Amino acid sequence: MPEPFVAYLRVYEPLSTFDSPLREQLGAALRRGTVDPFDAGSVEEGVWLRTQVSAPPQLLPGDAVAEPDVGPVLSLDPEQVPTAPAAAVGPGPLVCPLDLRGRSAAALVGFLGSAEPPLRSAALAVPVDKAKVQASSVVAEQSRGAVHVLSSTWTVPLPWFVLVDPTERVVITEERRRVCWRVAMADARRRIARGHSVCRKSIGEEGPTRILRETGRWLERFHPHSAVELDYGGLVQMMNGGDFDADTSAEDVHAIIDAMEAGDMGEVGERYEALRDFWSEFASRERHN
């Protein structure tokens, strides 16, 4: 069974910076064993499916217990994160809770707000009003903190590439393929602040500028010595060796920011067209599924 066609932007915070009792719960999760990043999408899918086949079905992960635990976690060693001279990461271990309950609730609120009534009724095992109240309550609880994972289906939001150093891409093309970047939080915030400033002056407040603003605000909610990871996740299943070689997305996005700052809109157009041609092929597959 293929992995979900999902890309991820994750934050790993130092375990020591979490408050009790969450710090102890995360420590226990680490001792039980962390999720391999190669398996993260499948683990998330499995947790969700188990909620739906339980008796009775659960609306959200963790509904069957009085005190939901932290669930699966990912972990990084600070030495796995490239840093600029002024940036610091750690101390380790760095922990990324998958936050499946909060993310599922947020996704459900979005679904209930956009889906047609017949689809909502067919997809839910409980009345729509009850589902909306329950999911909104979980989202309100989550708002005191921040989910550690953002996800995108079928494509990677181009503004995400602003956060990374194009030269530090990790590409694994063996049996278990992976494409990812890791970056210190301080470096990610510095790059996204510049990108937002340049885009706002060049193209206004909407579109990519809005995504950069929202992503920057999200990053500000985490410890400054955290790490950020951009992971293609299950999207690599749609890519072949030629696609890996042709993928210059991070280079193109950074070149667009430089060209905007220099007022070279011809370069901006050429780079954007190349990005659109590359990613539209993958995004179009959503329409065939």
Q: Using the structure block, give the residue that is written with the tokens 């278990």.
A: 176
* Angstrom distance (rounded) from CA 11 to CA 145: 13
Asked whether residue 171 is domain-assigned, the answer is: yes
Per-residue pLDDT, 289: 52
Per-residue pLDDT, 96: 96
Asked whether residue 143 is domain-assigned, the answer is: no
Asked whether residue 5 is domain-assigned, the answer is: no
Reference 74, options 139, 6, 13; nearest CA is 13
Per-residue pLDDT, 27: 93
Give the β-pairing of 6-14 and 149-153.
Answer: antiparallel
225: which 2 tokens?
Answer: 């010595």
Q: What is the DSSP string of 156-171?
A: --GGGGGGS-GGG-EE
Helix (H, G, I), strand (E, B) or coil at 9: strand
Kindly report, residue by residue over 266-278, the tens digit of the pLDDT: 999 999 999 998 9
* Number of domains, the chain: 1
Print pLDDT tens along the chain (289 aa): 678 889 999 999 999 999 988 899 999 999 999 999 888 888 888 877 777 777 677 777 766 665 667 788 999 999 999 988 888 998 989 999 988 787 877 777 777 777 787 787 777 777 777 777 777 777 777 655 688 999 998 899 999 999 999 999 999 888 889 999 999 999 999 999 999 999 999 999 999 999 999 999 999 999 999 999 999 999 998 888 889 989 999 999 999 999 999 999 999 999 999 999 899 887 776 655 5
Per-residue pLDDT, 240: 85
Per-residue pLDDT, 165: 95
Asked whether residue 186 is domain-assigned, the answer is: yes
178 burial type by CB count under 10 A (0-12 exposed, 13-18 middle, 19+ buried) = middle
Q: How far is CA 64 from CA 28, 50, 61, in A?
A: 20, 11, 8
Length of the chain: 289
Asked whether residue 14 is domain-assigned, the answer is: no
Report the chain's C-alpha Rg in angstroms.
20
Sequence-separated (6 or more) residues with CB below 8 Å from residue 92: 14, 15, 76, 77, 78, 79
Per-residue pLDDT, 137: 75
11: which 2 tokens?
Answer: 């934050």
Asked whether residue 50 is domain-assigned, the answer is: no
Q: Give CA 134 to chain center in angstroms.
A: 24
Asked whether residue 166 is domain-assigned, the answer is: yes
For the entire predicted model, the pTM comes to 0.88
Kindly report, residue by residue over 175-203, the tens digit of the pLDDT: 889 999 999 999 999 999 999 999 999 99
Per-residue pLDDT, 228: 97
What range does the domain containing 284 cover? 80-89+154-289
Per-residue pLDDT, 286: 63
Asked whether residue 250 is domain-assigned, the answer is: yes
146: which 2 tokens?
Answer: 């921040």
